[in-house]
Structure 1
Amino acid sequence: MATPRPNQRIGDTAWSKMPKVNGELFALTYGSLVTQLIKDFEDLKVVNQQLDNMGYNIGVRLVDEFLAKSGVTNCADFKETAEVVAKVAFKMFLGINVEVSQWNAEGTACSLLIYDNPLTEFVELPPSAYGVLWYSNVLCGVLRGALEMVQMRVEAQFVKDVLQGDEVSEIRSVLCSVLRLSSLELKGMIEEAMGDEYKED
């Protein structure tokens, strides 16, 4: 039997320590959220944006918990960061293993391949939503928000989805810039993203 790689071991350990939520309840709750957004906005492209925005705010909040509970140290570059996201973060919070592939020559763009997505349990999209609604788009927002808090500005978008007939769900992630922020600027970014609850009296 092959020995698990370091990031995989870290992810497995972190997952074993996390409180668990019933998978069926989790999927149905997320499904209810998406359904309500569709009713509220009707335009599926707007729903995609709303899911991305929600995910961004979640990602901003998850960083502290991730760093505290995973024990992961600073990553040297975007490639190392992507591996940590795939093997540790996805495992820690969703209990799934994600594969990193299709790097560009510069090491600034890659694909995250999701074979088992707990958000899509019990879901079947109508053909009219194919190519328009990215049902799990909240995950793209989570990536953006979390990585921005560690000073990496990225673009993330689904390019494949098992709900649309693809064999695997694929998030294409592109590093746009590495932020060089002072502590004051970073504090301001966090306050803007998290709202009044973060601000000190």
Structure 2
Amino acid sequence: MAMSRPTNRRPENHKISKELFVLTHGALVAQLCKDHEADEDVNKYLDQMGYNIGIRLVEDFLARSSIKKCRSYNETADIIAKIAFKMYLGITPSVICRKESANEFSLVLDKNPLLDFVEELPVGRASLCFSNLLCGVLRGALEMIHLPADVQFIQDQLKGGNVTEIGITFLRKNDDKKHRRNK
């Protein structure tokens, strides 16, 4: 007897996976806070773990999304927000270009899914970046596609911000002449 997979299971599995990830992330941060007194150490560990996830996750993203090479930083930021965040976290952040140089962007999350079960930072942890894993994931994934970037939080809802804002600064200048030749 052949078993078939119900077609309606994918969205349910995605939601369960997201909730499991969010709960696991909370437990991870709690354990790191127990293991390390300094918030900077916890932030560093979260960033490094995220980086390691990002360098592996980018292959899955490219395979599942069928994205071709981006022609600009603006296009890259849009794909991160509209496809990657939607695919893995079920949200679509807004993209804001922060500088006229077109290499600095912000991803603005009205609702940060990593904070679904968190109301406030632990007592005495004012400089903790609870969601710093996201910065590491973005940095690692971008590095794997040869787009080194500085990624950091600009606003954090756990620290009184109205939104969660992640700043991305691409570290190489966009070579417009190269792109014109390849068109």
Question: Following the alignment from structure 2 to structure 1, what is the Cα–Cα distance between the partners of residues 135 and 24?
Answer: 18
1:138 is the counterpart of 2:128: no
Show structure 1 runs of 4+ deviating over 6 A: none
Question: Following the alignment from structure 2 to structure 1, what is the Cα–Cα distance between the partners of residues 20 and 61?
Answer: 23
Paired residue type of 2:78: E
Give the TM-score normalised by structure 2: 0.83
Question: Following the alignment from structure 2 to structure 1, what is the Cα–Cα distance between the partners of residues 108 and 150?
Answer: 16
The corresponding residue for 1:184 is: none
| Runs of 5+ consecutive residues of structure 2 not aligned to the other structure | 1-9, 174-183
The corresponding residue for 2:177 is: none
Structure with larger Rg: 2
Residues 66-89 of structure 1: per-residue CA shift (max 9 Å, x gap) = 011011111001111011001100
Question: Following the alignment from structure 1 to structure 2, what is the Cα–Cα distance between the partners of residues 18 and 77?
Answer: 35
Alignment of 1:11-26 (within 5 A): 19-22=13-16, 23-26=18-21
How far the C-alpha of 1:17 sits from its partner, in A, is: 6.9
How far the C-alpha of 1:125 sits from its partner, in A, is: 1.2
Residues 15-73 of structure 1: per-residue CA shift (max 9 Å, x gap) = x7794142543322111100111111121111001000000000000111101101111
The corresponding residue for 1:110 is: 105
Identity rate of aligned residues, in percent?
Answer: 47
Root mean square deviation of aligned Cα: 2.0
Question: Following the alignment from structure 2 to structure 1, what is the Cα–Cα distance between the partners of residues 122 and 36?
Answer: 17
Alignment of 1:149-164 (within 5 A): 149-164=144-159
The corresponding residue for 1:129 is: 125
Compare 160-169 and 16-25 and name the one that shifted more.
Answer: 16-25
How far the C-alpha of 1:127 sits from its partner, in A, is: 6.0
1:174 is the counterpart of 2:169: yes
Question: Following the alignment from structure 1 to structure 2, what is the Cα–Cα distance between the partners of residues 66 and 152?
Answer: 16
* Cα gap change, 1:100 to 1:111, in 2 (>3 Å): same
Question: Following the alignment from structure 1 to structure 2, what is the Cα–Cα distance between the partners of residues 66 and 140?
Answer: 17
Paired residue type of 2:42: V
Question: Following the alignment from structure 2 to structure 1, what is the Cα–Cα distance between the partners of residues 122 and 170?
Answer: 33
| Runs of 5+ consecutive residues of structure 1 not aligned to the other structure | 1-15, 179-201
How far the C-alpha of 1:128 sits from its partner, in A, is: 3.5
Question: Following the alignment from structure 2 to structure 1, what is the Cα–Cα distance between the partners of residues 12 and 64?
Answer: 9
Give the TM-score normalised by structure 1: 0.76
Query: How many residues are aligned here?
Result: 163
The corresponding residue for 1:48 is: 43
Paired residue type of 1:29: T
